[in-house]
Chains A and B, each alone.
Chain A
Amino acid sequence: MATILLVEDNEMNRDMLSRRLLRNGFEVLLAVDGQQGVDLASARRPDIILMDMSLPVLDGWEATRRVKANPATAAIPVIALTAHAMEQDRAAALAAGCDDFDTKPVELPRLMGKIRALLGEAG
C-alpha cells in the first residue's frame, strides 16, 4: 500500500488525519516540523507528502522547496494543506513547488481524490 508522509505540527490535526488515512489503508509517516519532514522524505521516500504550511523550524514552503531541490525526493508529489482557502497561500504553495493544494479542515473525500490523482500520475 502507498505510504503518505504527513508533516503537521498541530497534534490534533496530525492525529485525526493520520487515523483517517490509516483507516483508508495507507501507511502513514509523521513529521512535526519542516526539517523532520525533509529528513523523513529523503530517508523513507514516501509515495506522497501532505505538507502543512505554517510549521516550526522550517516552514512548509521552505521544506517543499528543499524536497523539490533534492533529486532523490524531487519526484514525490506534495500536497499543501493550509487553513482557510487563502488564495495567496495557494499561489505561494504552488510557487514553492507543491503539486496540489487543499484547505483545512480536510474534506476527506476531496483530499483522497487529490491523493489518488497524484499517485496515479506518479505511479
Chain B
Amino acid sequence: MGSDAEQREGEACPFDAGGLGREATLLRATLENMAQGVAMYDANYRLVTWNRLFREYLDMPDEFFTSAHTFQDYIRYLGARGEFGDDIDIEQVLAKRVAQLDHPHRFERTRPDGTVLEVRRDPVPGGGFIAIYTDITERKLAEMKLREDEEQLRAIDAAAPVGLIIVDRASHTLLHVNGGVERLLGRPAAAFTGRPVEDVLDSPERGRELWDILSGPPSERREFVLLRPDGTPVWTMVAHGDLDFRGAPAIIATFVDITDRVKMEQDLRDAKEAAESASQVKSAFLANMSHELRTPLNAIIGYSEILSEDAADNGDTAMVADLDKIQAAGKHLLGLINDILDLSKIEAGRMDVYLEQVFLNRTVDEVRTIVSPMMEKNGNRLVIDCPLDLGSLRTDVTKLKQSLINLLSNAAKFTKDGQVSLTVTRQHSGEGPGSVRFEVRDTGIGMTEEQIGRLFQAFTQADSSTTRNFGGTGLGLTITKHFVAMLGGTILVTSVPGEGSTFLIELPAEAAVAAEPAKPLVDAGAPADAGAITVLVVDDDPAVHEVLAATLGKEGYVLRHARDGIDALDIMRRDPPDIVTLDVMMPKIDGWSVLGIMKSEPELAHIPVIMLTIVDDRNLGYALGASEYMTKPIDRQRLLGLIHKFTPGDGAGQVLVVDDDPDVRAMVRAAIEDGGLHAAEAGNGREALAWLNVHPAPSLVLLDLMMPVMDGFTFLSEARANPAHADLPIVVLTAKELTEAERSYLAQNTLLILNKSAQPIGTLGAALAAIAGRSKVATGRAG
C-alpha cells in the first residue's frame, strides 16, 4: 500500500496529473490493482502511463518514472542491464522490437531472477501501444515439471527390468508394450502394439492361454513361457490388474523373467535325483560289499579259532595267544563292517523296526553275557540293577540290545579299573503304559561339554586321538541314537571330565510305529490274507532271495525260490505260484526264455511276472508279456506296491481315481502306487458308479468335481444314497473354487477336500496311504 501511495504522490502519473476527476481516479485504481503489469506509450513511443506491477516486474529505477522516457530508452536500459544477455548488439535488438510495434505481438521473457514474463504489445488507435506483462513463472514451472515427469515415466517404462503391457479389455488389442518386453523377447515394441494379444505369440493356443491368464482373477500369479524369435523359451511370472487407460477398461500386466530360477529349480531336481540314485547305489554297494567282506572274515575268525583250540589242546600257549589276536582283530573288523552297514541302512531309510514283547530280565542277561569279557579286559566291575519284577516292554529287541551293548562297551573302553553300572527302572507317568529307563554309568575319563556336543555325529569320536587310543569306528553312538529315535525313545548324556559319564536311554513301554519316520508305507494295501499268496523268486543271486524273503516274508507272503530258469519252470509246473519275480541274466536259460516259455503254456501264461533285473530293456520285457519291469537295485517299496497290485484279494489298499483328465489320472496313479496302494480309474461319476457296482469297495475314492456326463457332486449324492456306498471314504481333489454351500456339503459327505494346485500330486501317495488307514505296524512273526 505504501508503494501505491508513493507512486501516486511522487511520480506524477499522467492519468492523475490531468486531474480528470472521479472517473479517472476509478480508472487509476483499476489499473493499479490489475494482476498484470501495464504500460502505455504514445505515438512517439513515449511512456505515458504505467501501473505498480509494471514497475515491480521490470524493476526499473525510480528516475525512469520521474522524467520522460521512450520505449527505446527502456529497451536500451534493459540491454545495458544485461537482460537480453551479453554480447548483443543493442541497436539490432531495438530495431527488431520497434519494428514489431505496429502489430499485436506477444513473447515470453525470462528475467535474470528467473521469473518468466509474458509480454503482449498491442497498437492503440491513433498511434502508440499498450504493453501488458503477465508473470507466468508458476505456469512455466508446472509445465516444465509435467514434461520432466513424462520423460521420467517414459524412461522408467523403457528401462524397467520387467515386461509391461496394457491391453484393451474389449478388443484385446495391445495398447502399450514397454522396453522390458522388447528385451525379454528381443523384438521391438512396434511388433506388438496395435495387435490383439492372442496373435503375437507363437501359436493361437498359447495366445488363448495368455488371454485366459490376463482375463482371470487379478490375484492369481501364473507362470507363462514366452518364446524368443529363435525359439529360446523365457519363463515368466505374469501378474496383472485392471486399469482405466485412455478412458476405456484395460488390463495392465507385468512379465518377470524367472528363467534363471526355473533352471536352478530344474538343476536342483536333477541333482536331487542324482543324489538319490547315488545313495541307492551306495546302499546296494555297501550291502554287497559287506557280504563279500564278511565271507573271508568268517574264515579268518573261524580257522583261527579252530587253530587256537588245537593249540590249547597241545598246550602251546604262545600260539594260542597269537591266534587269539588274529581272531580278535577279525572280530573287530567284522564289528566295523556291521556298523557301517547298519549306518548306511539307517541313512537310506531302510532300517526296519520289528516290535515284539521283550522281557527285560532275559534281555539284560544276554547283554551281560556279551559285555562281561569287555569289562574284565580293563579291570572294570559291572554292576547290573534290573529288578526281577520289571516285566516286559514292546520294542525291537535287537536294536535295544545293540544300543545297550554299544553304551556298555563304550563305558568299558573308557574306564580302567573302575565301575560300570546298568540300572533299569520302569517309569510311570499318569495313565498309559509309561516307559523304561536304562542308565549306563561309568567312572571313566569322562568328557568335556564340547566333546559331548560332537558325540552323536557319525565318524566323530570325542577326540580324533580317541580312535587311536581306544579303537572303534565312532559309529556306535550314532547308531544307538538312531535306534533309540526309531523306538520312540530319547537318549541323554551327562559327564564330568575325569569322573565319568552317564548315558540315559528312555524307551516307551509300547513303541508306536509313528516313532519311526523313515519307515516307508510298505505295508499299505497288504491283502488281509496274504498267507495264501505264493511268490516265486527266480534269481541266481542269493542276496535277492534274502532281500525278497525279508521284504515279502514279513508281509506274510509264501516264498518259493529258484536259482535258475530250469528250476523255476519245474517249480511252476508242479505248483503254479500267484506271482513270479524273474531275473534276466541267469545260468542255463535266461529270464527272457523263461518268460517266453511261461507265456506259451496255458497253465502258466496268466501268472503275473515282475521282471527284476539289471538289464534295462523294458520294451522287450513288455513285448514278451511281463506285467511289470523293475531294475536293480531293488526298490523294496515299489516292489511291494507291485506285488500288492497283483495280489488277488478284496479292495483293501485300492484307490478309485475319478477324474476326467487322463493325465491327472496317470499322475495320481503313479503317486498312489508310490504310496504302496494300487489304483483303479474312472473318467466321470457315472463310470465310477458302474465300477463300484462290480468291484469290492475300495479303501478310498479320490474324486474330481468338474467332470462331463456326471460331475462329482451328483456322484456323491448317488453314491451316498446307496447303502452299500454310504460309508465309502471319499477324498475330493479339485481345482474348483468352492462356494461356502459346496464346501459345507462336501465337508459332510467326504473325508477331506484337497486342492489340486495346493497339493503336489507327488505327495498324494503317502497322504492317501495314511488316510486309507492301511499303514500297520510291521511286526515280526516271531510270536
**A residues in contact (CB < 8 Å) with B:** 10, 12-13, 16-17, 19-20, 23, 53-54, 56-59, 61-62, 83-92, 94-96, 104-106, 108
Given A84-B338, A91-B780, A92-B554, A54 and B302 touching (CB < 8 A)? no
A65: nearest chain-B partner, CB-CB: B558
Q: Is B202 an interface residue (CB 8 A)?
A: no
How many Å lie between the Cα of A91 and that of B353 in the bound state? 12
Q: Is B782 an interface residue (CB 8 A)?
A: yes
Q: Is the beta-carbon distance between A108 and B305 smaller than 8 angstroms?
A: yes
B542: nearest chain-A partner, CB-CB: A54
Q: Is the beta-carbon distance between A88 and B553 smaller than 8 angstroms?
A: yes
CB A12 to nearest CB in B, in angstroms, measures 4
Q: Is the beta-carbon distance between A86 and B542 smaller than 8 angstroms?
A: no
B303: nearest chain-A partner, CB-CB: A16
How many Å lie between the Cα of A108 and that of B334 in the bound state? 16
User: Which residues of the other chain, B, contact A61 by a CB distance below 8 angstroms?
Assistant: 549, 553, 559, 561
Given A20-B306, A87-B354, A91-B554, A12 and B545 touching (CB < 8 A)? no
User: Which residues of the other chain, B, contact A86 by a CB distance below 8 angstroms?
Assistant: 546, 550
13 chain-A/chain-B pairs, Cβ below 8 angstroms: A20-B309, A53-B549, A61-B549, A83-B294, A85-B398, A88-B354, A88-B551, A88-B553, A90-B398, A90-B780, A92-B550, A105-B297, A105-B302
A-B complex: 7 closest residue pairs judged by Cβ atoms: A88-B550, A16-B302, A91-B780, A54-B542, A92-B553, A95-B781, A59-B561
What 0/1 pattern do residues 325 to 340 of B give for CB contact below 8 A with A?
0000001001000100
CB A54 to nearest CB in B, in angstroms, measures 4
What 0/1 pattern do residues 288 to 312 of B give for CB contact below 8 A with A?
0011001101110111011001000
User: Which residues of the other chain, A, contact B309 by a CB distance below 8 angstroms?
Assistant: 20, 23
What 0/1 pattern do residues 537 to 554 of B give for CB contact below 8 A with A?
000001101100111011
How many Å lie between the Cα of A90 and that of B309 in the bound state? 29
The dominant DSSP class at the B interface is helix
Given A88-B352, A105-B334, A62 and B559 touching (CB < 8 A)? yes
Q: Is B76 an interface residue (CB 8 A)?
A: no
Q: Is B583 an interface residue (CB 8 A)?
A: no
What 0/1 pattern do residues 745 to 783 of B give for CB contact below 8 A with A?
000000000000000000000000000000000001111
CB B425 to nearest CB in A, in angstroms, measures 26
How many Å lie between the Cα of A20 and that of B782 in the bound state? 29
Q: Is the beta-carbon distance between A87 and B302 smaller than 8 angstroms?
A: no
Contact of B302 among A53, A56, A91, A106 (CB under 8 A): A106
Residue of A57, A61, A89 most packed against chain B (CB within 10 A): A61
- Other than A54-B545, A87-B780, give 6 A-B pairs with Cβ distance below 8 A: A16-B303, A56-B563, A84-B338, A88-B549, A89-B550, A105-B301
Q: Is the beta-carbon distance between B291 and A83 smaller than 8 angstroms?
A: yes
How many Å lie between the Cα of A53 and that of B354 in the bound state? 20
How many Å lie between the Cα of A62 and that of B553 in the bound state? 12
Q: Is B183 an interface residue (CB 8 A)?
A: no
Given A57-B567, A61-B549, A91 and B781 touching (CB < 8 A)? yes
How many Å lie between the Cα of A121 and that of B426 in the bound state? 34
How many Å lie between the Cα of A20 and that of B84 in the bound state? 125
Q: Is the beta-carbon distance between B341 and A54 smaller than 8 angstroms?
A: no
A91: nearest chain-B partner, CB-CB: B780
What 0/1 pattern do residues 559 to 577 of B give for CB contact below 8 A with A?
1110100010000000000
How many Å lie between the Cα of A10 and that of B560 in the bound state? 21
User: Which residues of the other chain, B, contact A12 by a CB distance below 8 angstroms?
Assistant: 298-299, 302-303
CB A59 to nearest CB in B, in angstroms, measures 4
How many Å lie between the Cα of A88 and that of B543 in the bound state? 13
User: Which residues of the other chain, A, contact B341 by a CB distance below 8 angstroms?
Assistant: 84
Contact of A87 among B305, B338, B396, B543 (CB under 8 A): B396
User: Which residues of the other chain, A, contact B554 by a CB distance below 8 angstroms?
Assistant: 88, 91-92
Q: Is the beta-carbon distance between B780 and A105 smaller than 8 angstroms?
A: no
How many Å lie between the Cα of A10 and that of B299 in the bound state? 10
How many Å lie between the Cα of A85 and that of B334 in the bound state? 12
Q: Is the beta-carbon distance between A13 and B338 smaller than 8 angstroms?
A: no
How many Å lie between the Cα of A58 and that of B542 in the bound state? 11
How many Å lie between the Cα of A19 and that of B780 in the bound state? 34
Q: Is the beta-carbon distance between B559 and A94 smaller than 8 angstroms?
A: no
How many Å lie between the Cα of A56 and that of B566 in the bound state? 13
User: Which residues of the other chain, A, contact B331 by a CB distance below 8 angstroms?
Assistant: 105
Given A87-B398, A92-B549, A95-B553, A104 and B782 touching (CB < 8 A)? no
Q: Is the beta-carbon distance between A104 and B553 smaller than 8 angstroms?
A: no
Q: Is the beta-carbon distance between A94 and B781 smaller than 8 angstroms?
A: yes
User: Which residues of the other chain, A, contact B551 by a CB distance below 8 angstroms?
Assistant: 88
User: Which residues of the other chain, B, contact A105 by a CB distance below 8 angstroms?
Assistant: 297-298, 301-302, 331, 334
Within 8 A of A (CB), among B658-696: none
User: Which residues of the other chain, B, contact A96 by a CB distance below 8 angstroms?
Assistant: 553
Q: Is the beta-carbon distance between A104 and B559 smaller than 8 angstroms?
A: no
How many Å lie between the Cα of A37 and that of B354 in the bound state? 30
How many Å lie between the Cα of A16 and that of B780 in the bound state? 31
A34: nearest chain-B partner, CB-CB: B561
A92: nearest chain-B partner, CB-CB: B553
User: Which residues of the other chain, B, contact A92 by a CB distance below 8 angstroms?
Assistant: 549-550, 553-554
User: Which residues of the other chain, A, contact B546 by a CB distance below 8 angstroms?
Assistant: 53-54, 86, 89
How many Å lie between the Cα of A89 and that of B298 in the bound state? 18
How many Å lie between the Cα of A31 and that of B554 in the bound state? 28
How many Å lie between the Cα of A59 and that of B571 in the bound state? 13
User: Which residues of the other chain, A, contact B334 by a CB distance below 8 angstroms?
Assistant: 105
User: Which residues of the other chain, A, contact B781 by a CB distance below 8 angstroms?
Assistant: 91, 94-95
CB A32 to nearest CB in B, in angstroms, measures 13
CB A98 to nearest CB in B, in angstroms, measures 10
User: Which residues of the other chain, A, contact B561 by a CB distance below 8 angstroms?
Assistant: 58-59, 61-62
How many Å lie between the Cα of A116 and that of B30 in the bound state? 136
Within 8 A of A (CB), among B93-132: none
User: Which residues of the other chain, A, contact B352 by a CB distance below 8 angstroms?
Assistant: 87-88
How many Å lie between the Cα of A86 and that of B551 in the bound state? 12
CB A9 to nearest CB in B, in angstroms, measures 9
How many Å lie between the Cα of A17 and that of B711 in the bound state? 70
A59: nearest chain-B partner, CB-CB: B561
How many Å lie between the Cα of A83 and that of B549 in the bound state? 14
User: Which residues of the other chain, A, contact B303 by a CB distance below 8 angstroms?
Assistant: 12, 16
How many Å lie between the Cα of A107 and that of B422 in the bound state? 25
Q: Is the beta-carbon distance between B553 and A16 smaller than 8 angstroms?
A: no
How many Å lie between the Cα of A108 and that of B563 in the bound state? 31
User: Which residues of the other chain, B, contact A53 by a CB distance below 8 angstroms?
Assistant: 546, 549
CB A14 to nearest CB in B, in angstroms, measures 11
CB B558 to nearest CB in A, in angstroms, measures 9
Q: Is the beta-carbon distance between B549 and A57 smaller than 8 angstroms?
A: no
